[in-house]
Amino acid sequence: MMADLDTIALGGEVLEDQQLSLDQLCDFCAVERWQVIEWVEEGVLETQLSAGREPRFSGTVLRRARVAVRLQRDFGVNAPGVALVLDLLERVQALERAQPRQL
């Protein structure tokens, strides 16, 4: 069973309730800005605009971004494919949480 990855901790700091800048997200995921922008355009990642019109990302988006990195790097999945895979993984996790565990 896949671990529940809704809460992310880096260096002892829980980032779930934090707002990340585009540059911070890129640093945490070791990707270029264009890649994150492509994921936003494809619906892989959700963003919010800050008062300064800079995109901001919730800490929970970091989990999706890291999985997206692995899908692209390890399996060569393109951005639309990453969006599909992530949506399907989230549906599976929701179904697993909704059904009682059977042995």
**pLDDT at residue 66 in the model:** 95
Query: Measuring CA to CA, how many Å separate 59 from each of 22, 76, 94, 101, 103?
Result: 12, 25, 19, 29, 34
26 assigned to some structural domain: yes
73 assigned to some structural domain: yes
3-state secondary structure of 21: strand
CA 62 to chain centre: 4
**pLDDT at residue 18 in the model:** 80
85 assigned to some structural domain: yes
5 assigned to some structural domain: no
> CATH number for the domain including 26?
1.10.1660.10
Q: What is the pLDDT of residues 7-27, one digit of tens each?
A: 444 444 555 668 899 999 999
Question: What span, in angstroms and rounded, lies between the C-alpha atoms of 32 and 23?
Answer: 9
**pLDDT at residue 16 in the model:** 61
**pLDDT at residue 2 in the model:** 42
Successive 10-residue mean pLDDT values, the chain, 103 residues: 42 65 94 95 88 83 94 96 96 90 69
- β-bridge mates for residue 19, sequence order: 58
What is the domain count for the chain? 1
What is the DSSP code (8-state) at residue 13? E
